Structure 1
Amino acid sequence: MKVGNMNAAAANSPCTSLFESEEEEQAGQAEAWKYTFAFVDSLAVKSVVLLGIPDIIARHGPKATLSLSQIAAELPTQKPDVNCLFRILRFLVAKNFFRAETSERENEVRYGLTPASKWMLKDGASLSMSAMLLMQDDVRSVAPLHHLNECILEGGVAFEKAHGLQSWDYAVAHPQYSDLFNQAMACNANIVMKAILSKYEGFQGLNSLVDVGGGIGATVGEIVKAHPTINGINYDLPHVIATAPHFTGVKHVGGDMFKEVPSADAVFMKWVLHDWGDEDCVKILKQCRKAIPETGKVIIVDPVLNAAEKTAMDPSLGLVFDLIMLAFSSGGKERSEEEWKNLLKEGGFPRFNVIAIPALQSVIEAFPY
């Protein structure tokens, strides 16, 4: 075929005919390239987090800038590939993960932290997302996402297709991955609890609070520490409670939330219901309803898609987490405000409020009257 004929064929192809203008075609191609290489952003950040580069800069002060050679000198090797380091830093400056300043006196580029990279410290930072990044970008976490197309065609859970086990069973069988997961959940708990305790006033006036699915009790321990008049109950499976340390004002209780929930003025559940399908959530909520008085409430901390109460977070993040739940769990999902309304009503809570906090999640107060 002649070149001219090839060009004519391309011009008349179904793909080309979809575009209404050359401008639309070019803009679409630019967006398509972004989707094609979106993974590079996250994995480039992972590389510098693993090397502790945000920490290296932070050790010199929050506004410090370091030259390429200064950063290279603090890496855990005697012969770093400085050109490789430069190219990754250059990319992350373009993505606003780092900032760059040119020193006229020294005629060199110096690198500093941005608000995003300040969230990726590893060494002793009380608020950090580095553990979440490292868990989500681990090859074992990414693998299930490669099976979403199969889930559309034949159903099933992507995590099981990738690893042959449900996510919880896989974590038990692979302690290293379990540790990654637990660190990620801990870092998220720190972030969310700071947001809750700074903005949510619904703990005031409570005499008792049970944290359902509370793990080892750190969350309810923080609530009781901020509100010492509350008697805290940490409720989880017996094998989890067996490892729980002492927290002042907190009693540890083992059990099954599908069968019973300890009595209290209020029930607290953080990142619990999004792990379960609607039918299971209704079962849990009905047990919570039995546990509280008529004047009680359930305090749920989960994302709310399309919430009327807006936060500073990109609303599409909730949809990202919904796909993570789709890939990792059998039935877990993020819910819209309307879906929460229907779920809570069926579980015995006809009235609820959604309260925005400075986090990915919202606080949902549900009342039995």
Structure 2
Amino acid sequence: MVGTIDLDEEMLQGQADIWRFIYAFADSMALKSVVELRIANIIHSHGGAVTLSQIASCINNGGSRTPPDINCLSRIMRLLVRRKVFAVQHPSDGGEPLYDLTHSSKWILHDSKLTLAPQIMAQTHPWLMAPWHCFSRCVKEGGVAFKKAHGSEIWDFASEKPEFNGLFNNAMACTAKIASSAIVMGYKEGLSRIGSLVNVGGGTGGLISEIVKANPHIKGINSDLPHVVSTVPEYPGVCHIGDDMFHGIPNGDAIIIKVL
């Protein structure tokens, strides 16, 4: 006779939690796929809820004669509906389900001023996923996970790989746009009293440019590594300086540092 294992409610809940942790990555990968396929933009362009068939017909298949796989798309959308990234309506007449945007999916619209799409593409890229696989090595050996995964520090890696540099800078720039409006509104009085502001590690200069735009009396200084500022656009009232903040930063009345 095969023995049975008695599991109490707490043990069963523990097992369920572990399964949830194991497959937690699926949410990120599903989100990445709909950003790559521009599904939020497809729904937005229709001005309202659309069927899977309508979404599939608008997916850029790169000239391939093979149509998008509706079944695969359905499974991805079902997961993201459950996560409240998209909404679904089931017509009373039994017609095809209709998918619509939610407050969450509005944050993954490409080309929107407030979008997290570049951040999603960066954080789910193999370059930035690889260091997460090195945590146990960091515990055993010490050191930085990114360097263990790629053989160099992140800033050196970015200086050697323009594609990674662009991916990382775009991710930082999209969060800067989100932060800038809050900073401009929340620190009006403080900003009115300074003549120059240094954004240390300012990336492509989006944050400092928005602050200067709202406060034209401020001289904006965008400070970052030379390989970063070498590719940034020019902004009125902002100068870019290539340097290393660990060796010194430009002079100014105040500094601002945005971590993410």
TM-score clears 0.5: yes
Change (3 A) 1:204 1:41: same
Change (3 A) 1:249 1:258: same
Report matched runs for 1:247-286 at 5 Å.
247-271=235-259
The structure with the largest alpha-carbon Rg is 1
Counterpart in the other structure of 1:73: 57
Aligned-partner Cα distance in 1 for 2:225–2:123: 25
Counterpart in the other structure of 1:155: 142
Q: Which has the higher strand share?
A: 1
Aligned-partner Cα distance in 2 for 1:33–1:117: 26
Match of 1:99 among 75, 84, 87: 87
* 1:210 maps onto 2:209 in alignment: no
Counterpart in the other structure of 2:40: 54
TM-score by structure 1 length?
0.64
Change (3 A) 1:120 1:216: closer
Counterpart in the other structure of 1:311: none
**What RMSD over aligned residues (CA atoms) do the two structures have, in Å?**
2.1
* 1:246 maps onto 2:222 in alignment: no
Counterpart in the other structure of 2:20: 34
Give SS of 1:247's match.
coil
Change (3 A) 1:249 1:130: same
Q: Unpaired segments of 5 or more residues in structure 2?
A: none
1:146-188 CA distance string (max 9 Å, x none): 1101111111221122222222222233322222112111111
1:61-119 CA distance string (max 9 Å, x none): 2xx10011111111123511111111211121111111000122462210001111111
Aligned-partner Cα distance in 2 for 1:102–1:265: 58
CA contact (8 A) 2:173 2:204 kept: no
Shift, 1:242, TM fit: 4.4
Counterpart in the other structure of 2:157: 170
The percentage of counterpart residues that share the same residue type is 45
Aligned-partner Cα distance in 1 for 2:146–2:109: 29
Counterpart in the other structure of 1:82: 70
Shift, 1:239, TM fit: 5.0
Aligned-partner Cα distance in 1 for 2:112–2:21: 32
Greater CA drift, 100-109 or 130-139? 100-109
TM-score by structure 2 length?
0.89
Q: What code does the residue aligned with 1:132 have?
A: Q
Aligned-partner Cα distance in 1 for 2:102–2:258: 29
CA contact (8 A) 2:119 2:172 kept: yes
Greater CA drift, 74-83 or 52-61? 74-83
Match of 1:183 among 143, 149, 170: 170
Counterpart in the other structure of 1:138: 125
Aligned-partner Cα distance in 1 for 2:201–2:19: 42
Aligned-partner Cα distance in 2 for 1:177–1:241: 15
Report matched runs for 1:227-242 at 5 Å.
227-242=215-230
